[in-house]
Amino acid sequence: MMPLLIRGWTHPRAASESLTRLDEVGLRARATHRAGELSGGEQQRVVLARALVGKPSVLLADEPTGNLDFRTGEMIFDLLEGLHRSHQLTSVFVTHNLSFARRCTRVLSMEKGGLVPGGPSASQPGAGPEYL
């Protein structure tokens, strides 16, 4: 809600939009809880709701599954995929998780301080993701 209040939205309008985004990530019932009362996966979903509340065209996520167990990480990635499509976002994810990277449609790797084409499946051109 705070990003919207900073932008000059009225409190009722900001609260309504914020609850809509929390509902979208499955956390409407936890709206009154503090961060310390939420699990790691719930905290990640709050981060996504907060990012989406301003209706961005680009979503940047640095290690969105980095501190999560496998099952929760998979759930977060599934949520990211759904939000990417439903909000028609350009999404950029930074990750060391090869399983996560393989599920992306385009992969770049960092090499010697620069971005280069390729990634976890680059040895099989045409199979799977598109590489720049």
State the sign of the Cα–Cα–Cα–Cα dihedral 26, 29, 31, 36.
Answer: negative
pLDDT tens digits, residue range 92-102?
999 888 888 88
What pLDDT, on a 0 to 100 scale, did the predictor assign at position 119? 64
Q: Domains of the chain, with CATH numbers?
A: 2-95 (3.40.50.300)
pLDDT tens digits, residue range 37-73?
999 999 999 999 999 998 999 999 999 888 888 998 8
